[in-house]
Amino acid sequence: MSVKILMVCLGNICRSPLAEGILASKLPKDKFLVDSAGTGNWHVGKQPDSRSIATAKKNGLDISFQKGKHFTPQHFEEFDYIYVMDGSNFDDVLFLAKTEEHKKKVSRILDELFPGDNVDVPDPYYGLQNGFDMVYEMLDEATDLLAKKLIEKHS
């Protein structure tokens, strides 16, 4: 049975698709399933932002096949871990949690690098390409630690 990890941002077209692609590339596919969703439903069924796709491609990853999904309470039942990109995502996801067990599944992705500091992955949507590159670097570093931790815990 696979360990299931969900990456969550606002629209599921910029940060969480990158986080999904990066983490999935670092984990054995036979043991881990990585997916992503957004707290907003504006981009359901759409590809990631072209700048996210370009940044991923520049780093050897293809995320163009991903399709936007909306985060729902059902995700608490389906996933073992839920990683959010910022404080707003954190609050929105926790608001939908019905139990303490659900709440314990939710963490900020950058807590891997800065435990307890509540550091956000900035939303690059309204910026330029270099903002997406910066987000990639942050997520790459955080998922290095996260992948090691998950592999150790579930091997």
Please tell me the distance from the alpha carbon of residue 28 to that of residue 19, in angstroms, as a whole number: 16
Residue with tokens 């019905």: 98
pTM to 2 decimal places: 0.97
Q: Among the options 49, 86, 120, 123, which is catalytic?
A: 123
- Domain ranges, residue 129: 3-153
Q: Annotated catalytic residue: which of 15, 49, 111, 120?
A: 15
| Gap between the terminal Cα atoms of the chain | 12
Which tokens in the block code for residue 76?
Answer: 């608490």
> Taking the CA atoms of the chain, what radius of gyration do you get in angstroms?
14
| pLDDT in 10s for each residue of the chain, 155 residues | 799 999 999 999 999 999 999 999 999 999 999 999 999 999 999 999 999 999 999 999 999 999 999 999 999 999 999 999 999 999 999 999 999 999 999 999 999 999 999 999 999 999 999 999 999 999 999 999 999 999 999 98
| Total domains in the fold of the chain | 1
* Catalytic site includes residue 14: no
Provide the CATH number for the domain around residue 38. Answer: 3.40.50.2300
Q: Distance between CA atoms of 155 and 87, rounded to whole angstroms?
A: 31
Q: Which of 9, 14, 35, 51 is catalytic?
A: 9
